[in-house]
Structure 1
Amino acid sequence: MTNDVAFPRYDRARLVPGIVHIGLGNFHRAHMAVYLDDLFNLGESHDWAIIGAGVRAPDARMRDALKEQDCLSTIIELDPQGKTCRRVGAMIDFLPVAADNAPLIAAMSDPGIRIVSLTVTEGGYFVNPATGQFDPTEAAIVADGQNPGQPATAFGAIVAALKARRAAGTAPFTVMSCDNLPGNGHVTHDAVIGLARLSDPELADWIEDNVAFPNGMVDRITPATGPREREMAASFGLGDDPVPVTCEPFRQWVVEDNFPNGRPALEKVGVTFSDQVHVFEMMKIRILNGGHAIIAYPGGIMGIEYVHEAMANPLIRDLLDKIETTEILPILPPVPGTDLDAYKAMIINRFSNPEVADTERRLCFDGSNRQPKFIIPSIRDNIARGVIPQGLILASALWCRYCAGTDENGAVIEPNDPDWDRLTRIAQEARTNPPVWLEQRAIYGDLADNPEFVAAFTRALNAVWDKGTAAAIRAYLG
């Protein structure tokens, strides 16, 4: 019933916006918005409320849903010991979604907005996977560079708003990425300045000199919303909320304290401000995000629907544990205040939470963007220390097998990557010629030129096709 739901303990009518956030997906609403809600409940930082925004047509549907409920988000924490529900009120408005982003640019031009934050997914930063650098030749970037007054991308809108603030003599806002990217602040810096340079090099220089792009590490598992999640919200007496968010109890946020125009006092609600974000970030991306990729594809190929079910499979659980222990932990630097073995054990426990009901399909999505960020770097680091990481290479071979488009039960795997058709064609060719998969230079770079890596990948993929996923894993486990 509703009396089991926690509501904001502050007067939302008295909140003043200080943040524009682009990308109102489940993760943002269960993470940054929750931290701010906690802070507002303490009576702190009430001039840092969020104005939501989106730059894609589907964002308009989210806007409609949230505006209908006064921009309140339902957040249900899925603790195996018992679910808890809260309504988060940190966002007070959601801007109209427009093709030219005029409402977004106007909002970001307001001097009261001192932070612009983003969750636009790992693939939304126009990075060339092979080089790891911003790619100014991407069609959307070229279009914004040629038409900076009516940009279609989030970065084009940010550049336009910074230009307006500069012309008005207004201090610039801080740009804060909340996406799972190595060096997300650096990546955002390169996207904004790289785009600005296409149309206004002088503005690009001003942004370089005056705008902060703090790096941050964010963490919370938030499954997609479907009928189960909507029914769960209804069970708490919240009617027919179409966009509730479910999430695990755990959350973490580590960020550089680089906010020249001010920031909310988030350290009072558990956010860690650190000048060593990069080591926290590497730990999380390699162990958690890499771990997701390790368990995703064998589960997907074997027809397993849920992540906790994959973790209940001894082969998949042992695969994850061995790769993490022998091929990932040894390449990680020390992390302040953190025992890496204990962190790994916590990750395994989090993956095993049956209440979360996260799907293998969600973890399998967008491998062409995620493999170069979460798996390939660990392969490279192992090779650099003279180790051919058989488990990580098997994990990448399992991704290739998954992209062939059918599981081991003969069921069709529906498209699950923005580049699915091309990946499927190459994966089917790789069944008899494994090295052709590695010729995707945008993903593997020069690894295709390493004979030992190519031979190990060939053995792994042949084993998966010839003997099956379970047998290939058993062979690796020894």
Structure 2
Amino acid sequence: MKTIEYQYNAKDISQGIVHIGVGNFHRAHEAFYTNELLAHKDQSEWGICGVSLLIADKKNVENLKSQDFDYTVTVCGRNGQDEVYKIGAIQEIIAGYENPKAVIDKIAESNIKIISLTITEGGYNLDKETGNFRLEDEKIKHDIQNPKSPATVFGFIAEGLRARKQMGNGGITILSCDNLQHNGDTARKAFTAFIEAQDAELAIWVAEHVTFPNSMVDRITPATTPDDIIRLNKNSGIDDKAPVYCEDFIQWVIEDNFIAGRPAWERVGVEFVKDVAVFENMKLSLLNASHTLLSYPAFLAGYRKVDVAMHDPLFVNLLKDFMNIDITPYVPAPKGIDLERYKKTLLERFANHAVSDQLSRLCYDGISKFPVYIMPNLGKMIKDDKDLSRMAFLIASYRHYLKYKTDSNGLQYDIAEPWLDTVDSELIESNDPLGFLKLAPFKSCDLSSSEQFTTAYIHFVTAIKQDGIVAVLTTIVA
């Protein structure tokens, strides 16, 4: 196995980026790109200071700290050939749960030009029904009233920006790296709403001194289990307490809107454009929506790994039909992209045994994913009187997954829906299938008003319970 060392002296690197949410995806994506860029001597000011705000991440932070924040990324080739990269782009990680002032001071430093984020789709605290920022959230109310002791990402960044403003250290860019369409616009909406509620004077400064570029990110990066750590270290011959593995495909498209300067990431393959919308639409509508369509039925069928499910012709054909029939009419190809090749590559990526992503990871937080990945195109399909069978099957499968918590093999499981509220829970537990369609993530599209959709959906709800997920899927693919 080939090991690739980083091509710079870490002592020569200074910090220009604060990244909040130092998870596996960040370490395989933004930090990976930045690691490659730091080999260029004129880019040495773009090292990363990570910030962790969640006590649940403490062990991982401590593991990284014990090895000077260096780690390995194993890039798993679809051709069976893997490469191990040593990554040194993260210079430091500050634990906000232990030292909140250090996070605030870091954001305020004049050399920091970018705050990047991977805080998940649900982390922007927007109401799933109205799209408005949820000012009534208890932690948000705490941060508005207690700016010096923040508990949320909004409170930390607002206090850091306030200190930056007072010190005269200039503007900064907030760069979302989350899987959201128009993620920069979403970040602007969320942070602006919070800051306006907390400090009107700071809000005026932010409007003039902070930019929020949209971006599209892509690289399948599974969670790393204890068994994975043993396997990865055995293969690499490196003792790494926090290794990451990912696929060989990587993409990052960014709106070039950086008020305080930016790394020359284009030298290592990042694409800067005026408008990322067409790239976002392609990726979210095809990759992320297909992942969502696959996740619940495959999990209910007893599969636990994406690649294993993707060697079952039933699921391969389900995704092919979904991409080709349901989604392609609504996805204009970006300039230079062969859409047929893109779809073929997606199926290859999903089936990559070396990556072996967990279906449970794809099932996680469906409440936040459906409004982003599924509902926009479903609304268009209903309006255009399209075949709704696969979409109805998906939502019926999601209901069964949430309500019964038992797969086709009789194995029980726990669901992970961190943003599920009391009203949604009651709708899930109800024996009224149509009531489920009032769930918050579906509110952008009045599903109950479509007779075609509700007829198919009720049929699938009944059939999945009576006949099982595989038997029902067989009728759809056939």
The answer to whether the superposition gives a TM-score over 0.5 is yes
CA, structure 1 residues 69+236, in 2 after alignment: closer, same or farther (shift >3 Å)?
farther
Aligned: 1:8 with 2:6 = yes
The equivalent of 1:171 in structure 2 is 170
Deviation at 1:309, TM superposition (A): 1.0
Partner of 1:270: 269
- Describe how 1:89-108 pairs up with structure 2 within 5 A: 89-98=88-97, 101-108=100-107
Distance in 1 between the 2:102 and 2:427 partners? 42
Letter of the 2:388 counterpart = P
Equivalent residues of 1:217, 1:281 under 8 A apart: yes
Aligned residues: 474
The yes-or-no answer on 1:444 pairing with 2:443 is: yes
Q: Tell me which residue corresponds to 2:331.
A: 332
| Change in 2 beyond 3 A, CA 1:455/1:191 | same
User: Normalising to structure 1: TM-score of the pair?
Assistant: 0.95
Q: 2: distance between equivalents of 1:421 and 1:151?
A: 24
Residue in 2 that maps onto 1:399: 398
Is the CA contact (8 Å cut-off) linking 1:20 and 1:116 kept in structure 2?
A: yes
Q: Deviation per CA, 1:192-228, whole angstroms, max 9, x where unpaired?
A: 1111111211211221222100000000000110133
CA offset at residue 54 of structure 1?
Answer: 1.1
| Whole-angstrom distance in 2 between the partners of 1:389 and 1:469 | 18
Give the equivalent residue in structure 2 for 1:248.
247
2:457 aligned partner: 457
CA distance, structure 1, for counterparts of residue 43 and residue 239 of structure 2: 32
* Deviation by residue 1:317-374 (Cα, 9 ceiling, x = unmatched): 1111101111111111331211222211111110010111111111111111111211
Distance across 2 between alignment mates of 1:58 and 1:107: 22
Q: Which residue of 2 aligns with 1:470?
A: 470
Of 63, 75, 81 in structure 2, the residue corresponding to residue 77 of structure 1 is: 75
1:148 CA drift (Å): 1.5
Q: Is this contact kept in 2: 1:222–1:246, CA < 8 A?
A: yes
Which 5+ residue runs of structure 2 have no aligned equivalent?
Answer: none
Q: What is the root-mean-square deviation in Å for CA atoms of aligned residues?
A: 1.9
User: What CA distance in whole angstroms lies between the structure 1 residues aligned with 2:143 and 2:384?
Assistant: 42
Q: Which amino acid aligns with 1:61?
A: K
Question: Secondary structure of the residue that 1:375 maps to in structure 2?
Answer: helix
Deviates more, 1:137-146 or 1:416-425: 416-425
2:64 paired residue number: 66
TM-score scaled to structure 2, two decimals?
Answer: 0.95
The answer to whether the 8 A contact 2:379-2:445 is kept is: no
Distance 1:435 1:84, change over 3 A: same
CA distance in 1, matches of 2:369, 2:173: 27
Deviates further, 397-406 or 58-67? 58-67
2:228 counterpart residue number: 229
Q: Hey, what's the Cα distance between the residues in 2 that align with 1:391 and 1:457?
A: 10
- Distance in 2 between residues matched to 1:237 and 1:299, nearest whole Å: 32
Per the alignment, do residues 99 and 195 of structure 1 end up closer, same or farther by CA in structure 2, a change over 3 Å counting?
A: farther
CA deviation vs aligned residue, 1:57-89 (integer Å, no higher than 9, x gap): 123322211110111121001114221111101
Contiguous gaps of at least 5 residues in structure 1: none
Change in CA separation of 1:30 and 1:18 when aligned onto 2, cut-off 3 Å? same
User: Does the CA-based 8 Å contact 2:53-2:95 persist in structure 1?
Assistant: no
Do the aligned partners of residues 425 and 406 (structure 1) sit closer, same or farther apart at CA in structure 2, a change above 3 Å counting? farther
Could you tell me which residue of structure 2 aligns to residue 359 of structure 1? 358
Find the residue that maps to 1:161 and give its secondary structure: helix
Task: Tell me if structure 2 keeps the 8 A contact 1:128–1:442.
Answer: no
Q: Is contact 1:435-1:448 (8 Å) kept?
A: no
For structure 1, which segment, 373-382 or 259-268, has the greater mean C-alpha deviation from structure 2 after superposition?
A: 373-382
Q: Secondary structure at the match of 1:19?
A: strand
Aligned position for 1:409 = 409
User: Alpha-carbon deviation of 1:162?
Assistant: 1.1
1:415 match: secondary structure: coil
Q: Offset at 1:238?
A: 4.8
The 5 A counterparts of 1:15-414 are 15-80=13-78, 81-98=80-97, 101-236=100-235, 238-403=237-402, 404-414=404-414
Equivalent residue letter for 1:213: F
**Tell me, what secondary structure is at the counterpart of 1:254?**
strand
SS state at 1:116 partner: strand
